[in-house]
Amino acid sequence: MRTIFSPKHAGHSGQLELVAGALVPGFEKPSRAEYIRARIDAVGLGPVSEPATHDLAAALRVHAEDFIALLPKVWDMWTAEGKSGTALPFTWPTRGLRGDKRPERIDALLGFYSFDAGAGFVPGTWEAVKSSYDTALTAAELVDGGERAAFALCRPPGHHAGAAFMGGYCFINNAAVAAQWFRDRGAARVAVLDVDYHHGNGTQEIFYARPDIAVFNLHADPMVEFPFFLGHADERGTGAGEGFNHNYPMPFGTDWTAWSAALEDACAKLANYGPDAVVVSLGVDTFEKDPISRFRLTSADYPKIGARIAKLGLPTLFVMEGGYAVEEIGVNAVGVLTGFEGG
């Protein structure tokens, strides 16, 4: 399996995030990608290439134009106002406040276009975001060109980013961009299978009213886990998209037995949907030792995930999402890929 990976991801480094009342170093750090990159070499998964450069047209197919236009400007706007450190939002237009008036100051704009204080900007953030987007599209081109599967080693991740908002370490929704790109290249239907510990709220929001891109999310129960305000089982889609959004919220402590039952159900429904391609939002923060998650999958479980996805027999793009700074992230992420190859 070929991997696409950009060293430019490392520019997004040293950012702070707001957690439990404190500004702390971001859990989404460069070592995540480097652990996975090293494991790819260690097991001989296949060749690794840097992405081609793409314009932002594909991003504009799933994101609002004003949102995408802001992202490259954030750091310059932040420093132009005399600010330093990590660029983070100051206020959000919550219930009872106006969300139809776009403010002018950057700390307010960041709140206008985000849902948390986890997607901070430092000088190299935009270059990393753009390279992550390029990585997803370049890997999608491999699958569209006839390869059975490809791995987009994206960093930053993307599945929490919605049509006009960022958050949860995510800026551009790489998986959603790729799914739409497959549609634009002629796929009649596409499925997104999100196996990250956290609900892919951005992907759900983008495709919620559409029948041509079905979304399957396996994740921790939003009653007790981030992102909290989306991901319940009764969210089935709306309008023409009703019945094409599938959520599998699970409690803290979920192990392979319960989690794999949800995967089996999702894969059966996905196969019945009959897509021409599958985009897998590959999060491995379901791991028992992940520092910010509370599921109990072990390293031995991840190859079985890949093998089950392989049984679908469909062109498959793996897009890296979550899984945090423990060395096993490389073993687990690549375990899914080798399991797929073996399957």
Q: Tens digits of per-residue pLDDT, 300-325?
A: 999 999 999 999 999 999 999 999 97
160 is catalytic: yes
Contact 142, 46 (CB under 8 A): no
Contact 153, 171 (CB under 8 A): no
For residues 182 and 17, give the distance between their C-alpha atoms in angstroms, rounded to a whole number. Answer: 34
Task: Give residue 195's identity as a one-letter amino acid code.
Answer: V
For residues 74 and 113, give the distance between their C-alpha atoms in angstroms, rounded to a whole number. Answer: 11
Contact 111, 91 (CB under 8 A): yes
In this prediction, the residues of the chain whose per-residue pLDDT falls under 70 are: none
Cα–chain center distance at 53: 20
Query: In the prediction, which pLDDT does 343 show?
Result: 83
Please, which residues bridge with residue 21 across strands?
Answer: none
Query: In the prediction, which pLDDT does 126 show?
Result: 98
Q: For the residues of 76-142, what is the DSSP string, one character each?
A: HHHHHTT--S-B--S----TTS-SSS--SSHHHHHHHTBSSS---B-TTHHHHHHHHHHHHHHHHHH
Cα–chain center distance at 198: 10
Query: In the prediction, which pLDDT does 254 show?
Result: 98
Query: In the prediction, which pLDDT does 51 show?
Result: 99
Which one, of 195, 203, 139, 143, lies nearest residue 172 by Cα?
203
What percent of the chain clears pLDDT 70, i.e. is strictly above it?
Answer: 100
Query: In the prediction, which pLDDT does 326 show?
Result: 85
Enter the CATH code of domain 2-63+125-342: 3.40.800.20
For residues 9 and 211, give the distance between their C-alpha atoms in angstroms, rounded to a whole number. Answer: 33
End-to-end CA distance of the chain: 13
- Catalytic residue chosen out of the listed positions 54, 63, 159, 160: 160
Query: In the prediction, which pLDDT does 161 show?
Result: 99
For residues 141 and 51, give the distance between their C-alpha atoms in angstroms, rounded to a whole number. Answer: 10
Query: In the prediction, which pLDDT does 154 show?
Result: 98
CA dihedral 144, 217, 133, 100 (to 10 degrees): 130
- Residues 75-117 have pLDDT tens digits of 999 999 999 999 999 999 999 999 999 999 999 999 999 999 9
Backbone φ, ψ for residue 138 (5° rounding): -65, -40
Q: What is the DSSP letter of 290?
A: -
Which one, of 161, 165, 160, 176, lies nearest residue 285 by Cα?
160
Each domain of the chain, given as residue ranges in start order, spans: 2-63+125-342
- Residues 55-82 have pLDDT tens digits of 999 999 999 999 999 999 999 999 999 9
Rounded to two decimals, the pTM is 0.98
**What's the sign of the alpha-carbon dihedral 77, 81, 84, 85?**
negative
